[in-house]
Structure 1
Amino acid sequence: MKKYLDILADIERKISEGQFESGQKLPSVRNAAKMYGCSVSTVTRAYTELESRHMIYSISQSGYYVVEKPGKGPDAAEGWQIDFASASPDPSLFPYLDFRHALNQALDTYKSHLFTCGEAEGLKRLRHTLVSHFAEDQVFAQKERIIVSAGANQALEILAKMPFPNGKSIILVEQPSYDLFLRYLEAEGIPVCGISRTTAGIDLQQLEEKFKHGGIKFFYTMSRYHSPLGTSFSREERKAIARLAGKYDVYVVEDDYMADLGEEPGTDPIYAYSGMSHVIYLKSFSKIIFPGLRLGAAVLPEKLMKAFCEYKRYADTSQLSQAALEVYIKSGMYERHKRKIRSQYADRIRELNKAVLRHNGSGLIDIPPVSSGLYVPFKLPKKANLERLVERLAAKKILVVSSKRFYLSDYREQEKFLRISIARAQPERIEEGVREIIGEVSRELKCLV
């Protein structure tokens, strides 16, 4: 399976980058088998799969040829030269044909069952498939502990409102953190407090004090590829957080929304060290497939199952979408697409890092080394006017996001940075964008002198 996926990913990449142009003949099956060091049947399977996705076509007695290369996607005409703001996946990377195939197969397999209300916990076969899917990330759970949700946001809202067995009420959030969840907590008047997290990590002594004396119901964290910081906790930090949770009867809600996009080895989630009693593991599929799918899953400790299901009450996620996702994962298409999109984003991060080395030699902006994921924070000098800088960059058609939105409204220890996302930044424009950002920061500081 791995060799087959590698061949698919390699040929797709070469088509996308123009190494194989429209109408160009691909290597013969035998030559490709020699080139990839595999059997003829493995290459034939890869070519057949590419043909089913309308990327190549075959001519009898001649071979396989590349179809017309798809365009850059709908955002190409929006007029923005460089988009460092969007967190949504690049539309040019959406697996349209793959997922259409999965939808058709789901309809053929499940038939009328897809048009019933279904179970509140989610489609049983999808939950069964997620058992092995999660195990690849060292999240070992029985299907009875997996609940399918309408994205991670729905699970977060339920967890924020439902009672917990520890009898506590305050939600502890990292600062900065996921902006939509922060705004939800504030709008609903849910008790919340913050703890500082930087690119260097988190103060574990302060965290222990919060756990011990703060009346903390749960601690919301993104242990891997944090948004907006882009960094991950060290193994020691993850182990310590799991230990503290058990010691002080505080639950940890681990939002692992970027699990599939990282390339760093040895970055198991907190859940892997927890003994499963105090960690709730959340995962969304929108960052890999497309935002409109709105499917996620929660792995819950046994003590929380009853209350969570009572608050969820009924099936509120499309049976068809769930069935298609089950087919998509089980067939290997998810793994293949994950490799493709992870490779694309890793290339963009490398381009960003090279541009930083080239243009930030004086260290005007504090930029951490980030090698995976989507986000890199550009920490600014304290004197810089953050909002004015964002506006000046927008006037140059460079979109960035201010750090202000990622903090609680009353949190005073805010760092000043630009959140840079590479999700939709075209590689050939990244260096120009970085150069312009650093130039504008320099001009901003000169104006203040």
Structure 2
Amino acid sequence: MKKYVEILSDIEQQINEGRFASGQKLPSVRNAARMYGCSVNTVSRAYMELEKRHAIYSIAQSGYYVVEKPGSRHNATECKTIDFSASSPDPSLFPYLDFQHCLNKALDTYKYDLFTCGDATGLETLRHTLVSHLAGDQVFAKANQVIVMSGIQPALEILAKMPFPNENSTILVEQPSYDIFLRFLEAERIPVIGIARTASGIDLRELEEKFRQGKIKFFYTMSRYHSPLGTSYSVDERKRIARLASKYDVYVVEDDYMADLGEEPGSDPIYAYDHTSHVVYLKSFSKIIFPGLRLGAAVLPETLLETYLEHKGYADTSQLSQGALEVYIKNGMYERHKRKIASQYALRIQMLNDAVQRHNDAGLLEITKVQFGVYVQFKLPQTVNLERLIERLAARGILVLSGKRFYLSDFLEREKFLRISIARAQQEQIEEGVKGIIEEVRRGRNQTG
């Protein structure tokens, strides 16, 4: 990495973390050169780039200052609500100015081409860029296998409705799982059955039995950073799922929407172990950049491509957004932002784990310690009334989600839990929030007893 890029990244991080506050004067070019051990020209180049990104501004004969962001005078601690319910990224981490630059660059590069409806498969140059990008996650595919989508949900709906080469009709889903997809399957009366997944994993013998006898079209799974559990399959589990899919001609739809939020050892997706083209790989960019982007990618086996595109039918994503994403990935901004948001979330998860260790001394909650992602399962005593608990927490300004919503309506083997998300929980609120949850669980247990 070039020295000026290191300086630029370091100053941006200090601004984002509040060490350089809005309106604060930065070190002079000469002082910064001494600090970073480089020439004044290198620092000047970094400052000029920061000025282009509207992160800082210069005043003649005075120096450089941090741009004041809207609402920056209102400290996050002034917000009394502790939000453990939201799954979308923290707005304070959105790369507004970087992506604005990419939008402008895309307009300059592609001009009027971005204002057409485009192709149903997505912008061709973006798909080629995604081939290289996905290869970094051990997802190797040809450009024609990569379909750009307006998020993962539309891809799931197409896959659920279209016929598969194995001619099976039943969809197998983990329980618990992605609630919006579950509600879609039930509303559309699509044949669906569940298999229990807990923080400890999945019963692979039961999975094999369902693959063997259940006439399963595909198995929908979140192999990494599962919602709502927060856990990931082991390498052995991923390999065995891939082998079972091949053995019984069952497809796997792997929703890897949180793929960029951690660096666990052996974190390759199931797709990396698929040797018979039985895995559909789905990736979202909205969870890392910002929800309004509404862009994702589906990587399909060639045996499914024609049918999938027939059901998709038309382009459903903005050409301008696709062009901007291509620029964002190619110039290294995505990788830099990925590291930034992953480190922020990892810090929050660690703070949550530390708070649980301090306050859960009586073992009221069963909590699997996760290090990456955004979700943690708080498993509750059976004697606690879940609905009343959530109401009492809301009255205290602590927002959480019930685990009930993440199950099929007729699935009986349910665990009683809260899904805790650290995506929007501010660092200074986590300790108070965890303490409040444990206090209310203790109160609910005592009242029931």
TM-score, normalization: structure 2?
Answer: 0.95
Letter of the 2:18 partner, please give it. G
Matches within 5 A, 1:190-209: 190-209=190-209
In structure 2, the partner of 1:86 is: 86
Counterpart Cα distance in 1 of 2:39 and 2:199 = 46
Cα 1:224–1:72 shift into 2, 3 Å: farther
Deviation, 1:31, is 5.2
In structure 2, the partner of 1:135 is: 135
Counterpart Cα distance in 2 of 1:352 and 1:102 = 35
Cα distance per residue 1:16-72 (max 9 Å; x no partner): 333223343434556545655677666554433322221112345664332225536
Given the alignment of the two structures, is residue 171 of structure 1 paired with residue 137 of structure 2, yes or no? no
Give SS of 1:64's match.
strand
Give SS of 1:252's match.
strand
Cα 1:65–1:157 shift into 2, 3 Å: same
Give SS of 2:366's match.
coil
In structure 2, the partner of 1:414 is: 414
In structure 2, the partner of 1:319 is: 319
In structure 2, the partner of 1:113 is: 113
Cα 1:188–1:72 shift into 2, 3 Å: farther
Give SS of 2:89's match.
coil
Matches within 5 A, 1:69-84: 69-71=69-71, 81-84=81-84
Given the alignment of the two structures, is residue 274 of structure 1 paired with residue 274 of structure 2, yes or no? yes
Counterpart Cα distance in 1 of 2:261 and 2:39 = 30
Kept in 2: contact 1:258–1:373 (CA 8 A):
yes
Letter of the 2:275 partner, please give it. G
Cα 1:5–1:276 shift into 2, 3 Å: farther
Cα distance per residue 1:196-240 (max 9 Å; x no partner): 101111111111111111111000000000000001000111111
Cα 1:352–1:73 shift into 2, 3 Å: farther
Kept in 1: contact 2:121–2:147 (CA 8 A):
yes
Letter of the 2:367 partner, please give it. I
Counterpart Cα distance in 2 of 1:2 and 1:184 = 48
Cα 1:268–1:68 shift into 2, 3 Å: same
Kept in 2: contact 1:5–1:336 (CA 8 A):
no
Given the alignment of the two structures, is residue 404 of structure 1 paired with residue 393 of structure 2, yes or no? no
Kept in 2: contact 1:150–1:317 (CA 8 A):
yes
Counterpart Cα distance in 2 of 1:387 and 1:39 = 62
Q: What residue ranges of structure 2 are gaps of 5+ in the alignment? A: none
In structure 2, the partner of 1:222 is: 222
Matches within 5 A, 1:297-336: 297-336=297-336
Cα 1:170–1:28 shift into 2, 3 Å: same
Kept in 2: contact 1:94–1:290 (CA 8 A):
yes
In structure 2, the partner of 1:289 is: 289
In structure 1, the partner of 2:387 is: 387
Give SS of 1:275's match.
coil
Give SS of 1:260's match.
coil
Kept in 1: contact 2:179–2:407 (CA 8 A):
yes
In structure 1, the partner of 2:233 is: 233
Give SS of 1:218's match.
strand
Structure 1 stretch displaced more, 25-34 or 241-250? 25-34
Deviation, 1:161, is 0.3
Give SS of 2:57's match.
strand
Kept in 1: contact 2:77–2:428 (CA 8 A):
no
In structure 2, the partner of 1:369 is: 369
Structure 1 stretch displaced more, 66-75 or 436-445? 66-75
Give SS of 2:410's match.
coil
Kept in 2: contact 1:276–1:301 (CA 8 A):
no
In structure 1, the partner of 2:435 is: 435
Counterpart Cα distance in 1 of 2:155 and 2:78 = 33
The RMSD of aligned alpha carbons is: 2.2
TM-score, normalization: structure 1?
Answer: 0.95
